[in-house]
Structure 1
Amino acid sequence: MRLFLLTFCLLSGIVPLIAQRNFKLQSPDGRLSVSIQVGKRITYSIVHEKDLVLSPSPVAMELEDGSAFGVGSTLIRQQTTTINQEIRTTLYKKSSITDHYKELVLEFREGFNLVFRAYNEGAAYRFISTRQTGFHVKNEPVVFNFAKDYDAWVPYVKSKAKDITGQYFNSFENTYTYTPLSKMSPNKLAFTPLLVALDNGKKVCIAEADLESYPGMYLVNSDGATSLKSNFASYPLATEQGGHNQLQQLVTSRAPYIARCKGATNFPWRILIVSASDRELPDNDMVYKLAAPQRINDLSWIKPGKVAWEWWNHWGISRVDFEAGVNTATYMAYIDFAAKNGIEYVILDEGWAVNLKADLMQVVPEIDLEKLIAYGKQKNVGIILWAGYYAFDRDMEQVCKHYAEMGVKGFKIDFMDRDDQPMVDFHYRAAQTAARYQLLVDFHGTYKPTGLNRTYPNVINYEAVNGLEQMKWTGPEMDMVTYDVTMPFIRMVAGPVDYTQGAMRNATKRTHRGINDEPMSQGTRCRQLAEYVVFESPLNMLCDSPDNYEKEAECTAFIAHIPTVWDRTISLDGAVGQYIAIARQKGDYWYVGGLTNWEARTMEIDLSFLGAGDFTAEVFRDGANASRIASDYKKEITDIPSNRKMALKMAPGGGFALKIYRKIK
């Protein structure tokens, strides 16, 4: 009888109704649940304990041929599994992480799977194509429906373009706009991660992971509702050389689709990280967990560390017999400084290759690169080269081969300023090619990390952060102090940040000025020290000049010897936009860093994680006059109290940094 009715419906042109199926996926601890409804369309919602995190939101993917994943799709089977495993990490904020989740795989007749995962700390979903032939994705309408007009921290694209298409060209650097969802600018793209404040002090951070051969996701609210919707850069059909010093590729025309895909394709994870308290966010691992596993077998050559950097301090060397700048003598001085202080690398930033040629094989005559590499090797200091995107991409294989054979340790690749599909592909090609020649990669001028640093651990850092470089040309109108205690809860959730801290010229809100030749930071000296603990950064710049560091021996010793990858990380306390304290362990040493906003604050930190025994701490505190003279600080050595509680006072824009070790008897 059922067969007869189905046949009758098909022959008569009547489309049978698709019966709705409901599924519920709970996190391992049972506190978070994902409800999925599969019918003519697919929706999902998320509840944490009794709090609604996400109202029912549709899930779909539109193809260029007019078909769609998730609309009128026929479910043929489902499977639920529980995974509980340890991931041994590489160059990360902890040596291993627990990967514990429940997973629901929904398989559809139309040639795709839809996968949901529920973690204790959030939820994620992705599409997987099981088709045999290639296709084009017209759009992926990702929607996040919220029940109320919640406040959000929104990182808008920094662009002068008024149209959306023009905003796809951007550096993924900006401060956060704190606004109700309904008041978001309807004509501005926002990039992820983006943070929304829920009821009862909870937050949800929207992110993505495993972004491979697919454009990155922007978010927009164009109708003043309480929903966020995705927006993707369309596939570039034509580009032309241009932009910064002719080192970029500018898109001149785009296709009516966002991605060209092979038949079998894993699409990016759409992630909602849920926190019950703000301090959980800086220590979240979901982006790393959801990234593709590493594709490099031998990791022995990948060396994290710190970099003596010349660009921020404008080659600021004095009291020498040569004119400081882009020349061999200057870089030999930086190598001497690095060697003296145990700093692993020196970078040659923009200027070592002939300008406007976009050709990395043309070195300026003022630089003897072979001499610098040999001198660095003699002093146990590696050389990293800055590279404009197009100059690197146009002859990637030859550039990597040539400079690897010369002894260069890696490249800082800059000015990509896009995240459409071909640009994402470039990042994977660059990582893979560099790995083949045992070269590190620091992606600057790029989109946020989405787990590529797990897949290719030679990708040792990312910018996509409104870093200290901004202080060279902006004054008090840019509030970096507030940004410093906001970014770790949002952008840093995605992965490491090439923020480039370490300024020895420090200023208050009143005294800060943007001065290119002698730049300064906002906030106190101890704030700069603390940022080496708080900010995750496997390749960490020392942004100031050797001259300034030589004058500040205590501070220089602290940041020169601090680790950049860690065995354990513990988020001690924090409130978005107000303050943060993080502890990190490497071997026998613990480091603790704390930051405040422009409010003076005393923070009591709990050091019970130290366990039994007697411990000593080297403490860098804001000085008594740090509220007026930002460079004022005090270093003291003290025993950790038996009750494991310490109260640390911070000046406005201040911070503190501790190095803790077992007491020597």
Structure 2
Amino acid sequence: MTAKIYQIVWIVLLATSLATAVPKPTTYHASSPDGKTRIEVSVNDQKVLTYRILFAGEPVLNWSALGFQLNTTAAGQQVVVKKSGQRAHNEQIPWPLGENDVITNTYNELTLDCQSGTVLFQVVARVFDGSVAFRYGLPKQKDSETGLIRAEQTTFALTDNYTIYQYNEESVFTPTTIGELQKTCDFPATLTNGRLFLSIGEADNPNYTKPVLTKGTVANSLAVAFEKDSVKTTAGFRTPWRTISVATSAIGLHAFSDLPLRLCPPTAQAIPGWIKPGKLIRSSLTTQGGLNCIDFAAKHDFQYIMFDAGWYGSEFRTTSDPTQVIPAIDMPKVIQYGKEKGIGVILYVNRVGLRARLDDILPLYKKWGIAGLKFGFVDGLTQEGITWLAGAIKKVYDYGFILDIHDNYKPTGLSRTFPNLLTQEGIRGNENNPDAFHNTVLPFTRFLAGAADYTFCYPNTNRYFSDNLLKTKLQVSKGQQLALSVVYFSPLQAIFWYGNPTDYNDEGEIEFFRRVPTVWNESHYLTGEIGKHISVARRRGKTWYIGSAAGLSDWTGSLPLLFLAPGKSYQATLYEDDQTGGIQKRVVAVKQGDTLPVSLKAKGGQAIIIDEIN
């Protein structure tokens, strides 16, 4: 062997030795119980803490940044992972206030203890079948107990130029590619590349600010941003969970609609019996209006009436006192009459009155005997506002009232901790007259976060309601209104939002609202495409209910009745749009394995009740 060949061999061996001497970054990982979903966390060459998510062996997210800025330190950069740990969790949660009797909460958890400079922090990731959730924790620091999270550095690097259904609070949805995204988008955000469907969400936010998603600096990426303020912390502080769920169909995303509940701490005790779900009708602001609504509620199997804004005066004035009822309403008389009929009274209180008098009105309302409260025009955008709301929810729970929170507040699973929080708005509801596209986007977007109070505005004979010049002129059919009361989940459903009891004189049309429940033993999302159509079947007791709604185009399909019990006979009552703007009803016999054809005109709907025949 010549000297030249020796030299070449020596160079190759030296290069190989040097390459193997450089340690590869350690990758920490956890997989879902079924093994299909996986998170990997690593420190890259720039000493940045990163993660990626894989589903069925393929990346769903490429390597993305983890971390946050605490005071002047970028936690997640120049990072050292000091310790790691794993554990498994398997739990069945009885949940009588949901879409199914039981919530399965099974995951594998990865915990990393990290340090950036002098800042100690923790990353906790939970991997469910089809979902990953992670959050940051702040243990007691060496030199300080408090800090200000000025920004999150969390990013989501998608593998493709996904389309995102952009919206903010109570706005309409605008499908746009990430590359063309100009505005921020609220959580939960739904994305698709035509092959996969993703939901990026948030859970367990009792004391953070409102985060939003914005276009990232890397192509096809999203980043977490704060909309209003920074976040004050103390030792032991934990950020909300960031969640990523993946499905191979739009309808498959509903497997994760209870994910925020799974990620929140449980209630300290069993769900109290005084927490009763149900339907409500809103009353005019008079004594007789309240009495009439109670009679209507009792006749139509509603559980509540509500006195909305104005019952104690102009809601935005500091001079309006939520302890004083306007002269037009004899509140004791209405409440007592409701008790005699088994109907509860819910009272609305605006943020102005809540912030000034919450500790005064709760014991007073308990003495009055009301059943619940509705909070209005709350601050769900800042840390101070969200923290105040979490404390108020607990106070309302401790006094034994059900609760509905309106305007810009959306759920993050806190109903598991305080189950009196039956519903909330954070949605462009029916009073804003959304079109059929909006209605058929909502099940795949906002409703993945939890219950929403849509405030149904079913048409009636009231001339103010029928005026074409008003926003309350509906853009969808009556059949769609009936169907959406099944499709949209809310343990407390506001029905007949505009109109008095005397406006509804066609009992055949509204009997579906009389029968439909608001919580369920079992639910199946049968078929659906975002913005095109949706069909959902739900069971209460032995009775099944199906709601189907079309978007802006006609929809023809079929509904396999595989969920029915074998060997049983059933009678299906179908409530459908007729050709004159009304509802027609027909009855057919069905059994397990049958297929019901569905043919809906654009903006139309169909509601079905399937009763077992003894």
Q: TM-score, normalised by structure 1?
A: 0.83
Match of 1:135 among 144, 147, 150: 147
Q: Paired residue for 1:634?
A: 584
1:541 equivalent in alignment to 2:511: no
Does the 8 Å contact 2:29/2:40 carry over to 1? yes
1:617 equivalent in alignment to 2:612: no
Q: Paired residue for 2:199?
A: 205
Aligned equivalents of 1:549 and 1:584: distance in 2? 29
Match of 1:31 among 36, 54, 57: 36
Q: Paired residue for 1:455?
A: 417
Match of 1:653 among 590, 603, 614: 603
Q: Paired residue for 2:55?
A: 48
Match of 1:342 among 296, 301, 316: 301
Aligned in 2, Cα 1:61/1:365: closer, same or farther, shift over 3 Å? same
Q: Paired residue for 1:178?
A: 175
- Bigger CA drift: 541-550 or 651-660? 541-550
1:417 deviates by 4.3
Q: Paired residue for 1:602?
A: 556
Q: Per-residue displacement from partner, 1:355-386 (whole Å, max 9, x unpaired)?
A: 12242123212121111111211221110001
1:572 equivalent in alignment to 2:526: yes
Aligned equivalents of 1:602 and 1:502: distance in 2? 26
Q: Read off the aligned partner of 2:101 and give its amino acid letter.
A: S
1:38 deviates by 2.6
Secondary structure of 2:213's counterpart equals strand
The count of aligned residue pairs is 576
1:130 deviates by 1.7
Q: Paired residue for 1:321?
A: none
1:24 deviates by 2.7
- Bigger CA drift: 87-96 or 378-387? 87-96
Structure showing greater Rg: 2
Q: Per-residue displacement from partner, 1:382-433 (whole Å, max 9, x unpaired)?
A: 1000110121122211111101111011111011144211111122111111
Q: Read off the aligned partner of 2:412 and give its amino acid letter.
A: T
Does the 8 Å contact 2:408/2:425 carry over to 1? yes
Does the 8 Å contact 1:497/1:535 carry over to 2? yes
Aligned equivalents of 2:110 and 2:451: distance in 1? 30
Q: TM-score, normalised by structure 2?
A: 0.89
Aligned equivalents of 2:165 and 2:311: distance in 1? 39
Q: Per-residue displacement from partner, 1:538-593 (whole Å, max 9, x unpaired)?
A: 00011243446632212322212211111111111111111111111111111111
Does the 8 Å contact 1:530/1:657 carry over to 2? yes
1:47 deviates by 1.9
1:89 equivalent in alignment to 2:83: no
Q: Paired residue for 2:261?
A: 288
Secondary structure of 2:370's counterpart equals coil
Does the 8 Å contact 1:603/1:647 carry over to 2? yes
Q: Per-residue displacement from partner, 1:169-193 (whole Å, max 9, x unpaired)?
A: xxx10111011111111xx332111
Aligned equivalents of 1:368 and 1:512: distance in 2? 32
Q: Paired residue for 1:532?
A: 485
Secondary structure of 1:598's counterpart equals coil
Aligned in 2, Cα 1:547/1:360: closer, same or farther, shift over 3 Å? closer
Q: Paired residue for 2:374?
A: 412
Match of 1:229 among 223, 227, 231: 223
Match of 2:321 among 352, 356, 359: 359
Does the 8 Å contact 1:207/1:270 carry over to 2? yes
Correspondence 1:256-655 to 2 at 5 A: 258-284=230-256, 285-295=258-268, 297=270, 299-310=272-283, 315=284, 326-355=285-314, 356=317, 357-471=319-433, 480-505=435-460, 513-515=468-470, 519-543=472-496, 544-547=498-501, 550-625=504-579, 629=580, 631-641=581-591, 643-655=593-605
- Bigger CA drift: 573-582 or 36-45? 36-45
1:126 deviates by 0.5
Aligned equivalents of 2:592 and 2:151: distance in 1? 59
Q: Quote the RMSD (CA, aligned, Å).
A: 2.2
1:59 equivalent in alignment to 2:77: no
Aligned equivalents of 2:401 and 2:456: distance in 1? 24
Q: Read off the aligned partner of 1:578 and give its amino acid letter.
A: K
Aligned equivalents of 2:442 and 2:265: distance in 1? 25
1:618 deviates by 3.6
Q: Per-residue displacement from partner, 1:11-40 (whole Å, max 9, x unpaired)?
A: xxxxxx997321232222222222211352
1:505 deviates by 4.7
Does the 8 Å contact 2:94/2:101 carry over to 1? yes
Aligned equivalents of 1:512 and 1:578: distance in 2? 28
Identity percentage of aligned residues: 27
1:78 deviates by 1.0
Does the 8 Å contact 2:166/2:184 carry over to 1? no
Aligned in 2, Cα 1:374/1:458: closer, same or farther, shift over 3 Å? same
1:154 equivalent in alignment to 2:184: no
Q: Mind listing any 5+ residue stretches in structure 2 that lack a counterpart? A: 1-21
Does the 8 Å contact 1:572/1:583 carry over to 2? yes
Aligned equivalents of 1:211 and 1:657: distance in 2? 36
Does the 8 Å contact 2:172/2:438 carry over to 1? yes
Q: Read off the aligned partner of 1:660 and give its amino acid letter.
A: I
Aligned equivalents of 2:198 and 2:500: distance in 1? 42
Q: Mind listing any 5+ residue stretches in structure 1 that lack a counterpart? A: 1-16, 158-171, 236-257, 316-325, 472-478
1:204 deviates by 0.8
- Bigger CA drift: 110-119 or 450-459? 110-119
Aligned equivalents of 1:548 and 1:599: distance in 2? 34
Does the 8 Å contact 2:571/2:588 carry over to 1? yes
Q: Read off the aligned partner of 1:530 and give its amino acid letter.
A: A
Secondary structure of 2:553's counterpart equals coil
Q: Per-residue displacement from partner, 1:126-152 (whole Å, max 9, x unpaired)?
A: 111221623221211221112322211
Aligned equivalents of 1:214 and 1:453: distance in 2? 17
1:73 equivalent in alignment to 2:79: yes
1:614 deviates by 2.7
Q: Paired residue for 1:247?
A: none
Aligned equivalents of 1:520 and 1:402: distance in 2? 39
Aligned in 2, Cα 1:217/1:484: closer, same or farther, shift over 3 Å? same
1:224 deviates by 8.9
Secondary structure of 2:348's counterpart equals strand
Secondary structure of 1:408's counterpart equals coil
- Bigger CA drift: 278-287 or 175-184? 278-287
Aligned equivalents of 2:156 and 2:442: distance in 1? 22
Aligned equivalents of 2:108 and 2:218: distance in 1? 35
Does the 8 Å contact 1:150/1:196 carry over to 2? yes
1:520 deviates by 3.6
Does the 8 Å contact 2:570/2:591 carry over to 1? no
Does the 8 Å contact 1:140/1:230 carry over to 2? yes
Match of 1:116 among 106, 114, 125: 125
Aligned equivalents of 1:106 and 1:223: distance in 2? 26
Does the 8 Å contact 1:283/1:493 carry over to 2? no
Aligned in 2, Cα 1:364/1:224: closer, same or farther, shift over 3 Å? farther
1:193 equivalent in alignment to 2:205: no
Secondary structure of 2:386's counterpart equals helix
Secondary structure of 2:563's counterpart equals helix
Q: Paired residue for 1:7?
A: none
Aligned equivalents of 1:215 and 1:296: distance in 2? 28
1:295 deviates by 3.7
